[in-house]
Amino acid sequence: MVHGVAFGDAMGAPVEKLTAAEIRERYGRVTSLRTAWHRDGQDEDQRKGRVRGNGITTDDTAMTLSLMRIYGAERRHLDAWDMASGMVREIAWESRWVPELQRKAPLIERLFYPEKWIFQRLQLAGCDPRQGGVGNMVNCGATMYIAPVGAANACNPAAAYDEAINFASGHQQSYGLEAAGVLAAAVAQAFVPGTTLDEVVRTAHDVAHDGTRTAIAEIVAAAEELARKGADADEVTDEFHRVIAPFSPMGDDVVHGPDKAGAASAAYQPSRLLSIEELPLALGFCITARGDFRQAVVDGINSGRDTDSIGVMAGAILGAMHGSSVIDAEDAALIDSANRLNLAADAGHFTEAVLDILFEDTARAADIIAQRETLITKSERSAAE
């Protein structure tokens, strides 16, 4: 799962914010981590002092690793207060190597405004953690790093959804929060031994609400028809963008600037009719790729727009479902070296924390079953009397 997040992120990062047509014109088709960033050659101000390409990951992976460390420290299920303490600490008060900045820094120096909101709202404003997401720009920011919640609730999608909603309510609201719950549930289902992609997708649809549920249903229907027809990647992308348009305010122009201060920015406000587009699209590309890990990620990041987050979501789901078979040794080595990481070690430490949580859950469930059996026996005896 962790490799899937980092791989999807690093694959999508060089072409993020380009349209599908621009990717085709500039690259033909991106199929390798060894891809130059489309902004290479621009001056430092235009690049905002950042570098990308050739395996470098973004804030999607950095925040996923932050969430894994919070689980490692707490070794229990999380809630909004852990967003206010653990995630604030991770993004604002800890300095780590930030690959895009090529230096050690607090992660908040790299984050986009909706993710900086975590610090501004929960520490500077000091609000109730459960209300932390209220007022934030609705986007995919909570969903892009939420996969570890699915692992901490492996094989229990309903619990994963609930915990993701509880935790991420300190960051996001409305359909941005809803998508985080849905992705966590999908990842939890992906860990079920012998599960199928159909079951994972059905779980995502069934736990979802409002516009998110409708968007998933429509993308899934389109994906199944496209897969049946054997549509090529460009046809899939065009149809997905047509289907998702009524639910997503994003469109092809994903650059935020002063020209978006009016009606366009209002599109990112709470709504029961809208959906982030990254999650339904990721599910759709999993379907058209027939569950193939690499193809789903490659197709997703070549569709343009928020490419890294689409790659992260498809990679997390299929990584969890297929296991270590998705890990290509050369890709893993490049990701580690480009980002000064040891993802296998990070995943190992996280797994230890997850196993502690799962063992405790299992013991608690056994106690509840025993207590209920006693209660039922007493109730039956009382009724008989």
pLDDT in 10s for each residue of the chain, 385 residues: 999 999 999 999 999 999 999 999 999 999 999 999 999 999 988 898 899 999 999 999 999 999 999 999 999 999 999 999 999 999 999 999 999 999 999 999 999 999 999 999 999 999 999 999 999 999 999 999 999 999 999 999 999 999 999 999 999 999 999 999 999 999 999 999 999 999 999 999 999 999 999 999 999 999 999 999 999 999 999 999 999 999 998 888 777 666 665 555 667 899 999 999 999 999 999 999 999 999 999 999 999 999 999 999 999 999 999 999 999 999 999 999 999 999 999 999 999 999 999 999 999 999 999 999 999 999 988 888 8
Q: Which of 148, 82, 144, 99 is nearest to 349 (CA)?
A: 148
Q: What domains can be seen in the chain, in order of their start residue?
A: 2-384 (1.10.4080.10)
Assigned token pair, 192: 């079920």
Identify the pLDDT of residue 381: 86
Model pTM score: 0.96
Q: Determine whether the annotation assigns residue 82 to a binding site.
A: no
| Amino acid code (one letter) for 13 | A
Q: Determine whether the annotation assigns residue 58 to a binding site.
A: yes
Q: Determine whether the annotation assigns residue 237 to a binding site.
A: no
Q: Determine whether the annotation assigns residue 206 to a binding site.
A: no
Q: Determine whether the annotation assigns residue 306 to a binding site.
A: yes
Assigned token pair, 260: 């978006």
Can you name the residues that pair with 101 across neighbouring β-strands? none
Identify the pLDDT of residue 149: 99
d(CA 180, CA 334): 28
Q: Determine whether the annotation assigns residue 212 to a binding site.
A: no
Identify the pLDDT of residue 264: 52
